[in-house]
Amino acid sequence: MKKINLTEYIQKTAQDVRLTTDERERMKRVLSEYVAMKPLRVAPLDRRAPLSYALISFYAFSRKSIAGILVAVLLFSGAGVSFAAENALPGDVLYPIKVQLNEPVVAALSVSQESKVLWNAERAERRLEEAALLASNGALTEAKKQELEDRFDRYAERVIAEVEQIEESNSSVAVDIASQFENKLLAHETILSDFEAGDNVKRLKENVRTRVERLAFVRERAGFTPPPASPVSASVAIADVPSVSTFTASESARALMTEATPQPAPLMKLETIDDEQLSIAASPVAEGPTLNPDIVKRIAHRVVDELKESKKLFDRYRVKMDVETGASVAEKIRLAETQIAEADAAFAAGDSSTAFEMYRNASASATKLTVAMKAFAKSKIRIVKPLNDGQHKTDDDATGSDIGTRIDDEHELDKTSSDSKRLSDD
Amino acid sequence: MKGNREEEFLAAYNEHSDALFRHAFFRLSDRERAYDLTQDTFIKAWDYVRAGGHVKTPKAFLFRVLNNLIIDEYRRSKSESLDKKLEDNPAIESMFAEGSVWEVEEEMDERDALAKVRGAIEALSEEYKTVVTLRYVEGFSPKEIASMLGSTENAVSVRIHRGVAKLKENLAT
């Protein structure tokens, strides 16, 4: 008898058991075909990538963090989650889906340059909405604020850069977009003013203000052909920061208008005019800058759309407003309509500069209403009340020295604060 | 990135297909089925990777997949439950002490010995055959086998020893 190691033999028995060369090749061919038929869908994150690619690369990105749950949830409920994420705020589980999946997908689907710019503007705007909502809930932490500021800056910068690019080829589109975005930012700035106490959104508001000024500058530059050697350049600008030389022009224009230029009639006046903060002035005088009529037409169409949007929102949210607010919004809408009608008349009469300003004023009012109502809808503590501001004074103040309306920040801040206080007392 | 994954996959095929096939063959004693299950193993592995799954150790992962397929195969072909087969034969316990040494006739040649061992392995019950071949044919550690089978290292070690003992019993008869 001899002793052998059994395990060694077990191993040896297996040595000649293997696939034949034919079998190996056959199986390999099958597997290669299978792999080719069902390729991996992983691709690097690309703004222009089609939907499925964005989806997969998002999985890859999130795998290490909230991965499992998110991916599973996404797989099982698909569009529902994507949709649900639309209302997510920074800090929410679904927020990354909103900003890293939903929004890039829309960006990727935007084909024309204009729609791309508008989408970037929308993204910047959304960050402001989110900041206001978080601040209203007292949930705007430093980290979230930082994130929102960064994102806002990124998209706002893109918009401005893109508008400047568009300006080279099509100035009326550039003016239109700059004007829209500017109005929206102004409206958001007003809303953010509510939360300025405690410096919570101060920096963000400053960022907004900077962008508003730059947009106003671009809009002005694109909209007007400066008259040669004219000492007075009629200016459409937000004149909050006198240190910026560009805007001193509007100060002088305003001075010229309020003191010397006779106005035909008190055309429209939605809000009180605060001399220190005069924002919009236009000079319809003959020697002033010439305005491209295309721009006026474009703005005219735009403002009609914007007002339509305001009306739609008003119809939807009217039931939630108190009587006073509802009446005020209705009145504002009516006034904006009058403004548009008068602007149409001015344009038909050949006064395109005046018409432009009227359209812009109506546009600012409509945008402000829209933004305020959206904020109202999203957060119970926000109301459209500040928009009432100055309403009762309109008739008294209609002395005819100025055309149009403006954004009265300080006034609204006071009003809104007291409203908030009243609400919290309730 | 994409290309790499596919190359990795085919490299894994080149490296592990023989071992998987061998294991399947030992377990099933059926070359055709072993071939099919080996192929299915790779297909399932690719599906897993494609769905975003991450594979740390390809070999262990592939064996786990194969093992599951073999278990499915058994469930289909045999009505007898695995649990029942897991019941121990008390006679094996006595042979534990002898370790893995096998006493054979002096004149028995290598080929005969191997044939005998193979026959004995085939005669092992499924649960022993699995661990014994994974351990001694494929060289996995008890820990790796435990993770493949969803068992504990201890249980696997015990089962390996009992499997070897059982094998010796088979060889003795």
Three-state SS across A288-325?
A: CCEECHHHHHHHHHHHHHHHHHHHHHHHHHHHHCCHHH
Which residues between 42 and 61 in chain B have a beta carbon less than 8 angstroms from any beta carbon of chain A?
Answer: 42-43, 46-47, 49-50, 52, 54
SS3 assignment, position A383: coil
- Distances in Å between the Cα of A128 and the Cα atoms of A138, A156, A208, A357, B54 are 15, 11, 9, 27, 39
Which pLDDT score is estimated for A69? 52
Between B3 and A410, the higher pLDDT residue: B3
The type of residue at B136 is: Y
The token duo for A37 is 């038929």
In this prediction, residues B148-163 reach a mean pLDDT of 90
Q: How confident is the prediction along chain A (426 residues), in pLDDT tens digits per residue?
A: 566 778 788 877 777 778 888 888 889 888 888 888 877 765 444 444 444 444 444 444 444 444 455 555 555 555 566 677 777 888 777 787 788 777 877 777 777 788 888 888 988 988 888 888 888 777 788 888 888 888 898 899 888 888 888 888 888 888 888 888 888 888 888 877 766 655 677 788 888 888 888 888 888 777 764 443 333 333 333 333 333 333 333 333 333 333 333 333 333 333 433 444 344 444 444 444 567 777 888 888 888 888 888 888 888 888 777 777 888 888 888 888 888 888 888 888 888 888 888 888 888 888 888 888 877 776 654 444 444 444 443 334 433 333 333 434 334 444 444 444 444 444
Which pLDDT score is estimated for B113? 80
What does the pLDDT look like over B108-126, one tens digit per residue?
Answer: 677 778 888 888 888 888 8
Between A194 and B19, the higher pLDDT residue: B19
Using the Cβ of B12 and the Cβ atoms of chain A, whether some distance falls under 8 Å is answered with no
Chain B residue with CA closest to A19: the answer is: B18
A–B CB contacts, 8 A cutoff, strictly below:
117
What is the nearest CA distance from A316 to chain B, expressed in angstroms? 43
Closest C-alpha among A274, A271, A267, A239 to residue A253: A239
The answer to whether the CB of A191 falls within 8 A of the CB of A166 is no
The answer to whether the CB of A238 falls within 8 A of the CB of A248 is no
Contacts of A24 in chain B (CB under 8 A): 17-18
Which pLDDT score is estimated for A280? 42
Q: How many CB atoms neighbour CB A351 within 10 A?
A: 18
Q: Which long-range contacts (CB under 8 A, 24 or more apart) does B132-135 make?
A: B132/A10, B132/B160, B132/B163, B132/B164, B132/B167, B133/A10, B133/A14, B133/B23, B133/B26, B133/B27, B134/B23, B134/B63, B135/B160
Which pLDDT score is estimated for A49? 41
Beta bridge partners of A5: B101
What does the pLDDT look like over A264-282, one tens digit per residue?
Answer: 333 333 343 344 434 444 4
Q: How many Å apart are CA A335 and CA A356, to the nearest integer?
A: 17
Contacts of A43 in chain B (CB under 8 A): 2
Contacts of B14 in chain A (CB under 8 A): 28
Closest C-alpha among A235, A313, A317, A309 to residue A278: A235
Using the Cβ of B150 and the Cβ atoms of chain A, whether some distance falls under 8 Å is answered with no
Q: How many CB atoms neighbour CB A254 within 10 A?
A: 22
The residue length of chain B stands at 173
What does the pLDDT look like over B68-103, one tens digit per residue?
Answer: 888 888 777 665 444 444 444 444 444 444 455 666
The answer to whether the CB of A82 falls within 8 A of the CB of A97 is yes
Using the Cβ of A76 and the Cβ atoms of chain B, whether some distance falls under 8 Å is answered with no
Closest C-alpha among A419, A374, A423, A381 to residue A129: A374
In chain B, pLDDT over 70 holds for what percent of residues? 79
What is the nearest CA distance from B122 to chain A, expressed in angstroms? 11
Which pLDDT score is estimated for B20? 92
Contacts of A49 in chain B (CB under 8 A): none
Which pLDDT score is estimated for B38? 93
Which pLDDT score is estimated for A199? 62
pLDDT at B157 over 80: yes
Which pLDDT score is estimated for B103? 62
Using the Cβ of A64 and the Cβ atoms of chain B, whether some distance falls under 8 Å is answered with no
Which pLDDT score is estimated for A21? 86
